[in-house]
Amino acid sequence: MDSNIFLQLSALLAITVSVAFFVRLARQPLLVAYIVAGIIGGPLLLNILPADEPMYHAFASFGVVLLLFIIGLDLNFSYLKKIGKESLLIGSLQFILNFALLFPLVHSFGLSWTGSLFLALAACFSSTIVVLKILNDKQDEDAVYGRYTIGLMLVQDIISILILLYLSFTAPNSLMAENSLLFVIKALAVIAGIILMAKYVLPSFLNKISSSGEFLFIFTIAWCFGVASLLLWSGFSLELGAVIAGLSLGASRFQAEIASRIKPLRDFFIVIFFILLGSGADFSHIDQIIVPALFLSAFILVVKPIILYILFRIRRFTRRNSFLSALTAGQLSEFGFIILFAVLSLGYLDGQELAIFTVAAIITIFFSSYAMTFSYKIYNFFMPFFLLFGRDNFVQAEEIKETFDTIIFGYHRTGWKIGEALKKKKVKFAAVDFNPESVAHFNKRGIRSFFGDASDIEFLRSLPLTKAHTIISTIPSPEDQLVLINFVRKYNPKAVIVASLYHKKHLNSLYKAGADYVILPHLLGGSWASEVVAKGEFSRRSSWNKYRRQQVRDLNGS
């Protein structure tokens, strides 16, 4: 294969797309396609991906950093506090019990004590990406089992961060190991500086730049890589630095917008990361790998869910919520790959552990994805068995998800007048705007407001659009409105959509996309002026002075 990295990358992506097509037909997460594409493109088959190419390893590092940055961004400790001690207790006990059973199992595969230790640790995690994606697809994030499952993911994220921190301390060339006192001083100074900047400098700086989505994106990348590099220089791991960079921005009111802009970039580089992992897995001794991988897969698919089910029942959760939560535990995680990848780079493993983990990951993700997708049907199938044990006496009240009758995009334009009318009618509504000052102003006035870009699909997913009866858009861009209309029509086909245009050029496009009505301001302005003429006020200066005073009051009130 030509050594040109562009040609290599193009070929790898072509393989990935081809595999992904069949993976999606099988209703599987694309994570499976990335790993399989790496195996096909690696030394085992086509040998497109050279093992010693530093550029691919740099791309893989970018993917890990961005993945951990977004996880840090989403590590909402207030959310963890909201769901109480249950997630912490169940998550911690689950991890301990899984490790206690996994360690002797993987050691029986003939691995070294160190290899067994880290493979068992890696296998304790469930996939945050797979679980959250399927919960999102099923719109179960706010169901009881969904909330506590997300809580368990947060607990696992925290545990993984602690493991990465341990690896930073024990790395052979770590500054921590060489000079602990110097490291402590340097680490405290760096962390204190980041905390002070995040608390006192970043909020005002983000307010000034957030009106430009491009500027916000560039700054976020610079902050992520800068903080991660600074922590690496201080002696920590790059992975831990990425998490801290995300945590420092997690409390910002621009968090959702930042995450939505970074995710597409993360997705590209994480593809390279998993392709590289697939290509690096050593299948030269497949006869020695397949049996351990099958035993590990059986444990992950059967024993891990049973452990989680029992823990939920002990904590007095219903059979239904316990069962649905348990089904989310039956796969291996991207964090397991990151930990094994980090340990392998430190020279603690011989590579066989990663090969076993890779095969088991493909198997478990494949089967657990079906289990989570059809979890309600599977529970109904097992219902007669559960009824043999009598009536379930435990009850959890479902939390009602925040919903609005009307959502107005571009509230600081025409939208605020609509909002005033909705207030008088006592209609519950929310405002969405891309002007941070306007959003802050609306929140002070008690109007539920969201900051973000209506053309960003990831941001739209975070909004309560699926239950809204009416969507009103006064956004000037027809392209942005087309994205919004297509999204709403896909996930809420019964909603009434009112859009707006300053020119009739794109009128048919908006109607074809699904808009019920498109406001044309110049037509409305003409209609209003004609009413003034009909009233006989057109030639009276006193009438225009009255309208001018009303206009000034409206502008000041907005």
Are 374 and 427 part of one and the same domain? no
Render pLDDT for 48-68 as a digit per residue (tens, 0 to 9). Answer: 876 666 777 788 788 878 877
Using alpha carbons, select from 158, 97, 151, 155 the residue that is nearest to residue 123: 97
Render pLDDT for 240-283 as a digit per residue (tens, 0 to 9). Answer: 778 788 878 877 777 777 887 888 888 888 788 778 777 766 66
pTM as predicted: 0.66
Phi, psi dihedrals of residue 234, rounded to the nearest 5°: -80, -10
Give the separation between CA 328 and CA 29, rounded to whole angstroms: 14
Domain harbouring 426, CATH code: 3.40.50.720
Domain extent at residue 55: 5-387
Q: Which residues contact 250 (CB under 8 A, 6 or more apart)?
A: 72, 73, 74, 75, 76
Tokens encoding 113: 């004590």
Domain harbouring 348, CATH code: 1.20.1530.20
Is residue 323 situated within a structural domain? yes
Q: Are 245 and 69 in contact (CB under 8 A)?
A: yes
Give the strand pairing for 496-500 and 429-433. unpaired
Render pLDDT for 292-331 as a digit per residue (tens, 0 to 9). Answer: 999 999 999 999 999 999 999 998 888 988 999 999 999 8
Query: What's the structural domain count of the chain?
Result: 2
Helices marked H in 281-435 — which ranges? 286-298, 304-314, 319-327, 334-345, 352-373, 375-387, 416-424
Is residue 16 situated within a structural domain? yes
Render pLDDT for 315-371 as a digit per residue (tens, 0 to 9). Answer: 888 898 899 999 999 989 878 888 888 888 777 777 788 888 988 988 888 888 888
Using alpha carbons, select from 464, 430, 435 the residue that is nearest to residue 445: 430
**Where residue 2 falls among pLDDT bands split at 50, 70, 90?**
very low
Give the separation between CA 409 and CA 460, rounded to whole angstroms: 11
Is residue 187 situated within a structural domain? yes
The CA R_g of the chain, rounded to the nearest whole Å, is: 27
Are 307 and 425 part of one and the same domain? no
Are 342 and 441 part of one and the same domain? no
Q: How far apart are the first and last CA of the chain?
A: 63
Render pLDDT for 216-229 as a digit per residue (tens, 0 to 9). Answer: 889 889 988 988 88
**Where residue 208 falls among pLDDT bands split at 50, 70, 90?**
confident
Are 333 and 412 part of one and the same domain? no
Tokens encoding 60: 């893989």
The dihedral through the CA atoms of 477, 482, 484, 485 has a sign that is positive
Q: Which of 159-173, 231-245, 425-439, 482-496 has the highest mean pLDDT?
A: 482-496
